[in-house]
Amino acid sequence: MSVPDYMQSAEDHQTVLVVVQPVGIVPEDQFFKIYKRIATVSQVSIRDSQRLLYIRYRHHYLPENNEWGDFQTHRKVVGLIAITTCGSAKEWSQTAERFHGQKEVYSSTLYDSRLLVFGLQGEIAEQQRTDVAFYPSFEDCSDVEKRVEDFVESIFIVLESKRLDRATDKSGDKIPLLCVPFEKKDFVGLDTDSRHYKKRCQGRMRKHVGDLCLQAGMLQDALVHYHMSVELLRGVNDFLWLGAALEGLCSASVIFHYPGGTAGKAPGRKLSMSQAADAGKRHRPGAQEVLIDPGALTANGISADTSTEIGRAKNCLSPEDIIEKYKEAISYYGKYKNAGVIELEACVKAVRVLAIQKRAREASDFLQNAVYINLGQLSEEEKIQRYSILSELYELIGFHRKSAFFKRVAAMQCVAPTIPEPGWRACYKLLLETLPGYSLSLDPKDFSKGTHRGWAAVQMRLLHELVYASRRMGNPGLSVRHLSFLLQTMLDFLSDQEKKEVTQSLENYTSKCPGGMEVITLPDGLKLPPVPFTKLPIVRSVKLLNLPVSLRPHKVKELLGHNMSTASPFIYSPIIMHNRGEERCKKIDFQWVQGDVCEVQLMVYNPMPYELRVENMGLLTSGVEFESLPAALSLPAESGLYPVTLVGAPRTAGNITVNGYHTSVFGVTSDCLLEGLPAVKTTGCLVEVIPSLPRLQLSTSLPRYKTLNSHLTVSVQLFNGETQQLTITLENIGSEDIETLELTSKIVSTKEKVFGNFLSWELDEPLSHLPLKPGQAVTLTVNIKVKLDFSGQESLLQDLNDDGISVTGLPISSPLRQVLKPRPENKPVSSEPGKAEYSHIKVKAKDSALRMYTVSVELRQSCSIKLAHGKLGKGIFLEKGGNCLHVVVVVFFLNLKL
């Protein structure tokens, strides 16, 4: 026997083996459809008996394994169900011959057989036969399960007769010597009359009868026979069969202690009433029979209340003794080279029992022993199966990393050099299954929390293997995704040389298949989420910038018709309830304008040891339609914080939220959201976008003096009483019509002591050109006439003296200061009392957002001042304070269509 059954469990010792095979040409899908229906009949309650018969089905079974049926009867094929198709009566004879040929393969052990024929109708199909069932089609076969149950009952009858025949002690009859295949040649020529030989025959037969009792549902009898067999075989040092007797004893004890099974099968095994009562009877010298309830189990499956009684019992082993006997049996198997499969399967059974007992460390010892069992020359497929099962068993006992190791070994075995057609798909699938064992997830969000789990070196090796396997599968998009994940999540663990190698490989892959943000769905349904490059470059802060001063909208209260009743009430609360997400998305106190270019500043740095080129970097927004203008960056190697300004223009009005940014690095397009960047600092990402406003360009006929806060300032020097014209040209350089124009003047004095009306204009002619289309211009003439009132000269002189300004080059003496009158506070000096300091041309409008353009005209004048003693000083130019009269021309415009 060279091929082990890794799915073996201790409870399989009480099952009878039935092989289900196709005969002739049978569609595979139809065969397995019928096979699954047959396999549902896994246990049958025998009529006129309270015993249960358990059935184990196989659709493929090596005949050489059948030769070990005397050694362990659950390995013996006792039933055969053949499935075939037959279209006509002519084909029937050939079909019947094939069925008989199939029975010959297992004839030495077969108890009974059945043939299920699909498609044949007519006279032959109407004949009543016990071993053949005819069905019109694979769909019209409602009583398949019932026929299988009848078939199982017939097997039970044969099984029970064999048990009774071999269990009966017939004095004088010579007991045959049961052998395994490799022993037969060793017993040729032995003295069959020796006492040693007879004990060996008796011990082996007792063990065999114990197997039959276990299969027939007589657990107590099986335990008795196993104990007798152990004593007989131990006396003659028949170690191979002694190991089998000990394993049988363990199996029977496991079936009693764990009626739900140890293999993790869905349907639990149920003890019949008589079986439970039979199993519960234990004999102790000088004690009455004790009935043990197998249902009184603790969480780990061990009967806590009765384990002491079981341990003292004569037959059933305690849970601890089960493992000890398994160890002893496996040590005996290890003495025989040809019993490697038996030894390996016994290790697997013991591991399943220890898993239920939650004794992981002892289970790992059994598995470690199973790893080193030599089974001879295994095929590559058998090696893959062996490593996969070892992986599953390590997973069963909670050794996740060891499980992942063997799963990875199985994956590498799929593409071994000796395989003519390497199975890269199977390799890739197995590699994916190893990820949890190495604490590795393919979701980049799991790595954004800052705490790395697992061994980075092993994880990088595994990711490289996934990249290579996906490339050999012919899926470059999958390779790009895994390589992007490797670069993003393992960047901190890569050396400078490894960073260069990984990025070069990524550029090679993306030249054929660019990387994107779509979710990749694998054939088995696994979804690979996108991998945004949030570390290439790393962003530390995001700040939304206000518009330039000349483009900022202003709210004018006169136009708003401000109503305090609409203001919301202020409610004070000492508890501040907010979180980081609310801080990120709080509204900013300035506005953007529809159609105007807006800016967002990012502070970034490059963690790579070489220059990083970022292509097509732009903003990700929501709320309004937004046109992002992409930028290209070239960041120096391992640069410090580097400012990057991303721009765009909102195309509609409303509230806009800056959600993040997008980049294109190494051929991979990434959408990086701010919510996924916990280390990013931001003052807010929500801003109001108001409807479009016109844009106006101003130019004047006077020479430019200076520009202050984006306000144009021109200078003119005039004497008192002098007049000059200021021509202002207004050009519409925006995309909106200018329909309304308002002109306001304000005279500003540093000391707020001297006032006068200097400006006058007529708006009728300029307003006639409105609306002003984009690209058109209009000219506005402003008359500047200096008309100052110098009454109250003493006060003015006192102001000048306070400012330290000399008159005719001489400082004002202190005696003169004593003669001067106290200065009046904030008393307006004007030729027209009560005149306001503003002159307006008002236009009513509903708009609340305006642009303000300012022209500041600085006036200088020459004047005479009468001193206290009556003399006149001529040609004195005043250079500071009250003499510099800043005339500010403020131009407003509205778009009444908004």
**What does the pLDDT look like over 711-736, one tens digit per residue?**
667 777 777 778 888 888 888 888 88
Q: List the Cα angle 49/55/58 in 5-degree steps.
A: 165
- Token code pair at residue 102: 């199939």
> Are 448 and 433 in the same domain?
no
Where does residue 393 rank: exposed (0-12), middle (13-18), buried (19+ CB within 10 A)? Answer: buried
Map residue 202 onto helix, strand or coil.
helix
Average pLDDT over residues 804-828: 36
Mention every residue, 6+ apart, whose C-beta is less than 8 A from residue 239.
Answer: 332, 335, 336
Question: Are 607 and 651 a contacting pair, CB within 8 Å?
Answer: no
Average pLDDT over residues 597-611: 93
Q: What is the pLDDT of residue 748?
A: 60
Of 123-132, 311-320, 401-410, where does the model show the most confidence? 401-410
H or E element: which one contains 852? strand 849-860
Map residue 256 onto helix, strand or coil.
helix
Average pLDDT over residues 352-359: 95
Where does residue 418 rank: exposed (0-12), middle (13-18), buried (19+ CB within 10 A)? Answer: exposed
Q: What is the pLDDT of residue 708?
A: 57
Task: Name which of 379, 416, 332 is nearest 62 in CA terms.
Answer: 379
Phi, psi values for residue 393, rounded to 5°: -70, -40
- How many angstroms separate the CA atoms of 129 and 653, rounded? 85
Q: What is the pLDDT of residue 359?
A: 94
Average pLDDT over residues 181-205: 83
Q: What is the pLDDT of residue 847?
A: 39
| DSSP per-residue codes, 803-846 | TT--BTTBPPPHHHHHHSPPPPSS----SSTT--SEEE-----S
- Token code pair at residue 78: 């006792």
| 279 pLDDT higher than 80 | no
Q: What is the pLDDT of residue 850?
A: 53
Q: What is the pLDDT of residues 90-121, one digit of tens each?
A: 889 899 999 999 999 999 999 999 999 998 88
Q: Which residue has the higher pLDDT, 264 or 233?
A: 233
> Are 452 and 431 in the same domain?
no
Question: Are 396 and 437 a contacting pair, CB within 8 Å?
Answer: no
| DSSP per-residue codes, 607-644 | -SSS-EEEEEEEEEEESS-EEEE-EEEEEPTT---EEE
| 374 pLDDT higher than 80 | yes
Q: What is the pLDDT of residues 776-799, one digit of tens each?
A: 888 888 888 877 655 544 454 454
Q: What is the pLDDT of residues 19-45, one digit of tens each?
A: 999 998 899 999 999 999 999 999 999
192-201, 305-314, 395-404: least confidently modelled range: 305-314
Q: Is residue 298 part of a domain?
A: no
Q: Is residue 784 part of a domain?
A: yes
Average pLDDT over residues 556-581: 48
| 219 pLDDT higher than 70 | yes
Q: Which residue has the higher pLDDT, 326 or 736?
A: 326
Q: What is the pLDDT of residues 376-386, one digit of tens each?
A: 888 888 899 99
Average pLDDT over residues 567-575: 50
Last residue of a domain, one of 644, 671, 690: 690
The enclosing domain of 214 has a CATH number of: 1.25.40.10
Average pLDDT over residues 286-298: 31
Query: pLDDT band for position 574 (50/70/90)?
Result: low
> Are 394 and 324 in the same domain?
no
Question: Are 207 and 233 a contacting pair, CB within 8 Å?
Answer: yes
Q: What is the pLDDT of residue 314?
A: 63
Task: Name which of 59, 57, 55, 56 is nearest 23 in CA terms.
Answer: 59
| 747 pLDDT higher than 50 | yes
Q: Are strands 849-860 and 711-717 parallel, antiparallel or unpaired?
A: parallel
Q: List the Cα angle 790/794/797 in 5-degree steps.
A: 85
Mention every residue, 6+ apart, whose C-beta is less than 8 A from residue 710.
Answer: 548, 549, 550
Q: What is the pLDDT of residue 852?
A: 52
Query: Which amino acid does the sequence have at 620?
Result: L
> Are 68 and 213 in the same domain?
no
H or E element: which one contains 581? helix 580-584
| 74 pLDDT higher than 50 | yes
517: left (phi over 0), alpha (psi -120 to 50) or beta: alpha
For residue 853, give Cα distances in angstroms to 343, 549, 551, 741, 771.
95, 10, 9, 12, 18
Query: pLDDT band for position 174 (50/70/90)?
Result: confident
Question: Are 280 and 292 a contacting pair, CB within 8 Å?
Answer: yes
Q: Is residue 175 part of a domain?
A: no
Q: What is the pLDDT of residues 664-677, one digit of tens each?
A: 999 999 999 998 88
Q: What is the pLDDT of residue 715?
A: 78
Return the beta strands (E) in 360-461 as ranges: none
- Token code pair at residue 877: 């130019």
> Are 747 and 702 in the same domain?
yes
Q: Is residue 657 part of a domain?
A: yes
Q: What is the pLDDT of residue 176?
A: 87
> Are 514 and 621 in the same domain?
no
- How many angstroms separate the CA atoms of 340 and 3, rounded? 10
Question: Are 759 and 788 a contacting pair, CB within 8 Å?
Answer: no
> Are 337 and 372 in the same domain?
yes
Question: Are 477 and 516 a contacting pair, CB within 8 Å?
Answer: no
| 837 pLDDT higher than 80 | no
Q: What is the pLDDT of residue 414?
A: 94
Buried b / exposed e along 18-31 (16+ C-beta atoms within 10 A): bbbbbbeebeeebb
Q: Which residue has the higher pLDDT, 142 or 211?
A: 211
Q: What is the pLDDT of residue 244?
A: 96
Q: Is residue 763 part of a domain?
A: yes
Where does residue 781 rank: exposed (0-12), middle (13-18), buried (19+ CB within 10 A)? Answer: middle
Buried b / exposed e along 554-580 (16+ C-beta atoms within 10 A): eebeebeeeeeeeeeeeeeeeeeeeee
357-361, 745-749, 753-757: least confidently modelled range: 753-757
> Are 609 and 663 in the same domain?
yes
Query: pLDDT band for position 584 (50/70/90)?
Result: low
> Are 135 and 33 in the same domain?
yes
Q: Is residue 827 part of a domain?
A: no
Q: What is the pLDDT of residue 265?
A: 52
Share the mean pLDDT of the chain. Answer: 79
Phi, psi values for residue 654, rounded to 5°: 140, -160
- How many angstroms separate the CA atoms of 662 and 653, rounded? 23
Q: What is the pLDDT of residues 523-545, one digit of tens each?
A: 888 899 999 999 999 999 999 99
Q: Is residue 816 part of a domain?
A: no
Question: Are 606 and 637 a contacting pair, CB within 8 Å?
Answer: yes
Average pLDDT over residues 489-502: 93
> Are 486 and 594 in the same domain?
no
> Are 431 and 450 in the same domain?
no
| 446 pLDDT higher than 90 | no
Q: What is the pLDDT of residue 20?
A: 96
Question: Are 663 and 614 a contacting pair, CB within 8 Å?
Answer: yes
- How many angstroms separate the CA atoms of 244 and 251, rounded? 10
Average pLDDT over residues 161-168: 86
Residue numbers of the domain that contains 138: 11-168
> Are 414 and 474 in the same domain?
no
Last residue of a domain, one of 664, 690, 716: 690
| 657 pLDDT higher than 80 | yes
Query: Which amino acid does the sequence have at 365?
Result: D
Q: Is residue 570 part of a domain?
A: no
- How many angstroms separate the CA atoms of 743 and 747, rounded? 14
- Token code pair at residue 407: 């799963």
Query: pLDDT band for position 880 (50/70/90)?
Result: very low
Where does residue 115 rank: exposed (0-12), middle (13-18), buried (19+ CB within 10 A)? Answer: buried
Binning the chain into helix, strand and coil, the percentages to the nearest 5 are 35, 25, 40
Map residue 334 onto helix, strand or coil.
coil
Total count of residues recorded for the chain: 898
Query: Which amino acid does the sequence have at 752?
Result: E
Last residue of a domain, one of 663, 690, 717: 690
Largest CA distance in the chain: 167
Q: How many structural domains does the chain have?
A: 6
Map residue 769 onto helix, strand or coil.
coil
Long-range contacts of 360-363 (CB under 8 A, 24+ apart): 360/397, 360/398, 360/399, 362/323, 363/393, 363/397
Q: Which residue has the higher pLDDT, 515 or 695?
A: 515
